[in-house]
Amino acid sequence: MSRRLLKHSFSLLHVDHVQLDTKWNYKHVISPYYRMYYIDEGEGMVSNEQHKLTLEPGFLYLIPSFTLCNLSCPSYLSQYFIQFFEEAPDGISLFYHNRALMKVPASDTDIVNIKRILAINPGRGINRSDNPKVYEKDVYYREYQELNHLQSDAIYLETQGILLQLISRFVGSEKNTIHQNPIIPSKILDTIAYIQINLKKPLTIAHLAARINQNRDYFSRQFLEFTGMRPLNYVHEKRIERAQYLIAASSAPYADIAEEVGFDSLPHFSKVFKKITGNTPNRYRQQHRSVNTI
């Protein structure tokens, strides 16, 4: 009899209840954390090139990390929002194969949970500014993470439980196919975790295959079969995800960011960045800092 082990945990960043107006109109929003909304009054819109969803009362919405979107409010919107980081020991996001905008009807339990997580985590709104140049910085992420460490064990466990319950509302639908995939071999999982924490190191196929004692070609086929990506493509994607965070959260020079995420030259970094994101690093920073996000 098989037993499923819970691997994913979620770390609270912000939670609040806000009233928004036409100033809530932001383009090209992308963040290293999840965004969840519950709407109790008014109307808004969340969209990207693939999806367009109306934010309406009675529904729950999820925007996974690193999912590009546009946010807008034509007049008035009353919104509960929760922002949180995902942590997975194998480095695979719960929504790795479905970084899409999602919407489900809010149940009575969902509404109780959202109000409860706000009640037990006071002062976790975005109280400095709604400008990402101000609040989307690593120093502030660390500050809010420290609040999690200061929680009592009871509040920490209850917060974690609520986040897991809310996340579960978006798992298991036909388009969330991650659980239909075959079990990933332990050596591939080990490689994924190794890549996640060693982005700055040289990560060649030969090196990755050798460290798990596999033939290079066999390793490449296995990695492609169980992740849907070739090893170097996966490495590039994870390096660029990290670079997106560093560009958005800091004013570090692009050359420093390129080195930090494992590229040996700025031109190579810029080429891969544009291939994956569709933007140059400079254009990405301009777009991200030209919007005010909540």
Domain boundaries, the chain: 9-179, 182-289
Distance, in Å, from the CA atom of 30 to the CA atom of 248, rounded to the nearest integer, reads 9
One-letter identity of residue 187: K
Q: Which residue has the tokens 């098989």?
A: 2
pLDDT at 23 over 80: yes
What is the topology classification, in CATH, of domain 182-289? Answer: Arc Repressor Mutant, subunit A (1.10.10)
What's the residue count for the chain?
Answer: 294
Residue-by-residue DSSP string for 111-166: HHHHHHHHHHSTT-S--S-S-HHHHSSHHHHHHHHHHHHHS-HHHHHHHHHHHHHH
Domains 9-179 and 182-289 in one fold = no
- The fourth-level CATH superfamily of domain 9-179 is Regulatory protein AraC (2.60.120.280)
Residue-by-residue DSSP string for 182-203: PPPPHHHHHHHHHHHH-TTS--
Distance, in Å, from the CA atom of 114 to the CA atom of 163, rounded to the nearest integer, reads 9
pLDDT digits (tens, 9 = 90+) for 78-137: 999 999 988 765 556 777 667 789 999 999 999 999 999 999 999 888 765 444 444 445
Distance, in Å, from the CA atom of 37 to the CA atom of 60, rounded to the nearest integer, reads 6
Q: What is the pTM of this model?
A: 0.64
Contacts of residue 18, defined as CB under 8 A and 6 or more positions apart, other chains included, come to 78, 79, 81, 125, 294
Name the strands in the sheet holding 44-47, side by side, starting at the edge strand that comes first in the sequence. Answer: 25-29, 69-72, 44-47, 52-55
Q: State the virtual CA torsion across 233, 236, 241, 246 in degrees, nearest 10.
A: 180
pLDDT digits (tens, 9 = 90+) for 233-289: 989 988 998 888 788 777 889 999 999 999 999 999 999 999 988 889 998 888 766
Residue-by-residue DSSP string for 69-85: EEEE-SS-EEEEEEEEE
